[in-house]
Amino acid sequence: MFQQKKKMEDGVGLDCLGLNSGSVSIGYEKELPGVDIFVCTADPMIEPPTMVINTVLSVMAYDYPPEKLSVYLSDDGGSDLTFYALLEASRFSKQWLPFCKNFMVEPRSPDAYFSTTSLPLDPVEAKEWSSIKKLYDDMKNRIEMETKFGRISQDIRREHKGFLQWDSGSTRRDHKTILQILIDRRDPNAVDIGGQPLPTLVYLAREKRPQYPHNFKAGAMNALIRVSSKISDGQIILNVDCDMYSNNSQSVRDALCFLMDEEKSHEIAFVQYPQNFDNVTKNDIYSNSFWVVNEVEFRGMDGNGGPMYIGTGCFHKRDTLCGRKYRKEYKGEWKGRNDRKVEESASELEETSKILANCSYEENTQWGKEMGLMYGCPVEDVITGLSIQCRGWKSIYFNPDRKGFLGVAPTTLLQLLIQHKRWSEGHIQIFLSKYCSLIFGHGRITPGLQMGYCVYGLWAPNCFATLYYVVVPSLCLLKGISLFPMISSPWFLPFAYVIIAKYGYSLGEFMWSGGMLQGWWHDQRIWLFKRTTAYLFGFMDTILKLLGFGKSTFVVTAKVADEDVSKRFEQEIMEFGTSSPMFTIIATLALLNLFSLVGVVKRVVMGTPITVFEPLALQILLCGLMVIINLPVFKGLFFRKDKGRIPTSVTVKSIVLALLACSIPLY
Ligand SMILES: O=c1ccn([C@@H]2O[C@H](COP(=O)(O)OP(=O)(O)O[C@H]3O[C@H](CO)[C@@H](O)[C@H](O)[C@H]3O)[C@@H](O)[C@H]2O)c(=O)[nH]1
Ligand SMILES: [Mn+2]
């Protein structure tokens, strides 16, 4: 079964275990475990409530028995706007879910569906399609109207008792736990327009107090784990970011094929889908596609014990996420534990569960250490996954043709660099902590996986090698100092081999994984920018933290942009626009190489014989490539008039810095 399911990735759609709908073995239907789905959001301004509820609706509409499905929205923004949007979604789901099921809609995020399909030909279907689209548009308008005002009107407040939980004193960072069960599957009235039951839907904003660290997404997830254990206690937990809608209504059943497999499931802790995005443009100038990560690196890890946990699109067994250690005897054991009966009424449940999301609940417990997601690391997901694997569990990477989840990738250069700073910082922190895959992982995970983690763990220190290569050879070129062997020397061969093999392989790997030549070139540019800025800052911040300065942060990636910024993203024009120190570094490095190249050209024009340049050939090549790859930077510095250009202050700073660097005497 197991191997067969894996083969599905290659398009051999096999219906393993009979779990997929419409299959023969109805018997399995009864055995299906409860699935709790956690959606995390943190800020209604940069994660618009309409986007969040599209994700919620897409996971509510999974092809899975609704009485076994519960969806929880964690709102770290503690915003009544998000709550209002969720309330609207709970009403709209009564039409949307039956529509999806009757017409086999795909994808089941209304926004994504209506923007990719047009009016169906069949008249019956067309009528339904138009009426549901109108309902959706009306709802979206209502939500956007309230979001624009930034405040919920009194009329709407009166519609639901949940709004009473926002009292005058509550702010984002200081409020008590807000918990509302919007749909209770035990309620006989919780049915859709066709009379079918609806999945449970819960809104949670855990308590926030300034004196308690809230531990960002990890803290939110742990509160969800506890609250859900009281309300639905699904044995499987799916975790998605608020922008990652479900693009495939079969994903739950697919994941269960691994998690319930008769032979192997007892050793599997989680099933991870890759991160894919639906806003990637044709040539992908910010290299958001992760071709090589998804097709090479994660498959490699999969073959060595399993991929990392990357925080979204991941199905966990509740037990293992809560700290359970692997033991051989577990085989076949967990299936028996089904459907705990909850006696309390919805409002009683709300009151008793609220306590579990209070700040003080975790004091003197193992939460954040041995239980749930681990605290203190900007990539809480990766360190948690690693510790699960070190407890003896395996994981599965599943990447079917029809993508399981689609999210929103960064649309400006700065957003991208900030995201990568967080990631590189998180990975190096793990590498330098007691959880280092080489030390802690020794004897616990396979050597292949130990090394696999190092690829990411060593991202950050890589900045130094890159900085050396983009600065020193060019400066030496300017001064006429040769660093590499002559082209005619046999010592040139190893250099030529490394360069050709490295870049030839990199291009090949990129294209085998599904990328294009242009995309690869953009990928090289982004690697350069990431290494010289994001990784450098990530490394420095880590060192500062190790020395006791600075504290953990989590800068949430924006999922919306101004109209003209989005337009430039569509047109694939690189977005600078703000004066960030990262841009000063990028521009300075570009100019420094430009000046060196100009220096060479000047000498040629002045009549210096070409032979003089032979010992400098590799440096000229490197410097020339640096100038070409930085063309968008020069455009941003000197040739653009739009708001996305490099700001004048950055231009001035970088020119001064580059000139200073060029005037350093080297002997
Ligand atoms: O205090 C916080 C901060 C963030 N989030 C949520 O965490 C998710 C991820 O945040 P985002 O800004 O989108 O970060 P990304 O860089 O896109 O996230 C990737 O990397 C993170 C770790 O760095 C993981 O947590 C994510 O799951 C993974 O998708 C979002 O849904 C946020 O709403 C919270 O719930 N609380
Ligand atoms: Mn994200």
Whether omega for the bond prior to residue 107 falls within 30 degrees of 0, making it cis, is: yes
Closest-CA residue, ligand 1 atom 26, reads: 311
Q: How confident is the model at residue 31 (pLDDT cuts 50, 70, 90)?
A: confident
Mean pLDDT of 201-206: 98
Q: What one-character DSSP code corresponds to residue 74? A: E
Q: Is the CB of 425 under 6 A from ligand 1?
A: no
d(C-alpha 310, C-alpha 324), whole Å: 20
Q: What is the mean pLDDT of the chain?
A: 93
State yes or no: pLDDT of 9 exceeds 80.
no
Cα distances from 550 to residues 46, 536, 545, 553, in angstroms, run 25, 16, 6, 9
| Rounded mean pLDDT, 451-457 | 98
Q: pLDDT, tens digit, for every residue of 249-279?
A: 999 999 999 999 988 999 999 999 999 999 9
313 pocket-lining for ligand 1 (C-beta < 6 Å): no
In sequence order, the 6+-apart residues with CB closer than 8 A to the CB of 28 are 17, 18, 19
Is 10 noted as a catalytic residue in this protein? no
* 302-347 per-position pLDDT tens digit: 999 999 999 999 999 999 999 999 988 777 555 555 556 778 889 9
Instruction: Write the residue with the smallest CA distance to atom 13 of ligand 1.
Output: 557
Judge whether 43 is annotated as a binding position.
no
Write the pLDDT tens digit of every residue in 36-81. 999 999 999 999 999 999 999 999 999 999 999 999 999 999 999 9
For residues 129 and 118, give the distance between their C-alpha atoms in angstroms, rounded to a whole number: 9
Please report the atom of ligand 1 found closest to the CA of residue 216: 1
For ligand 1, atom 28, the nearest C-alpha belongs to 311
Instruction: Spell out where 64-123 has E strands.
Output: 69-75
SS3 431: helix
Ligand 1 centroid distance, CA of 217 (Å): 6
Q: Which residue, by CA, sits nearest to atom 36 of ligand 1?
A: 217
CB 255 within 8 A of CB 235: no
CB 525 less than 6 A from any atom of ligand 1? no
CA gap 586, 630 in Å, rounded: 9
Compute, in angstroms, the gap from residue 380 CA to the centroid of ligand 2.
14
Q: Say if residue 351's pLDDT is above 50.
A: yes
- The answer to whether the CB of 311 is under 6 A from ligand 1 is yes
DSSP secondary structure letter of residue 185: T
Catalytic residue among 243, 278, 381, 523: 381
Specify the pLDDT at position 12.
34
Of 539, 49, 87, 511, nearest to 291 by C-alpha is 511
| Ligand-binding site membership of 217 (annotated) | yes
Q: Is the CB of 290 under 6 A from ligand 1?
A: no
Ligand at minimal distance from the CA of 429 is 1
Ligand 1 pocket check for 473: Cβ under 6 Å: no
Identify residue 243 by its one-letter amino acid code.
D
Give yes or no for residue 16 having a pLDDT over 80.
Answer: no
Q: Which atom of ligand 1 sits closest to the CA of residue 410?
A: 17
Contacts 24+ apart (CB under 8 A), 181-188: 181/231, 181/346, 181/349, 181/350, 182/86, 182/87, 182/90, 183/90, 183/93, 184/346, 185/66, 185/67, 185/70, 186/342, 186/346, 187/346
Ligand 1 atom index nearest CA of 74: 35
Whether the Cβ atoms of residue 651 and residue 637 lie closer than 8 Å to each other: yes
Which run of H or of E encompasses 245?
strand 245-246
Check whether 21 has a pLDDT greater than 90. no
**Residues 613-658: tens digit of each pLDDT:** 999 999 999 999 999 999 999 999 999 999 999 999 999 999 999 9
| pLDDT band with cut points at 50, 70 and 90 for residue 23 | very low
**Which bound ligand lies closest to the C-alpha atom of 273?**
1
**Confidence category of residue 10, pLDDT binned at 50, 70, 90:** very low
In DSSP notation, 523-560 reads HHHHHHHIIIIIHHHHHHHHHHHHTT-S-----PPP--
Residue ranges of the alpha helices (H) in 107-249?
A: 110-116, 123-149, 154-157, 216-231
Active site residue 381: yes
- Which of 429, 556, 560 has most ligand 1 atoms within 8 Å of its beta carbon, as the pocket-test mutant? 556
Calculate mean pLDDT across residues 236-259. 97
Minimum CA distance residue for ligand 1 atom 33: 41
- Coil, strand or helix at 37: strand
Q: Is the CB of 350 under 6 A from ligand 1?
A: no
329 is in an annotated binding site: no
Residue 389 has pLDDT above 60, yes or no: yes
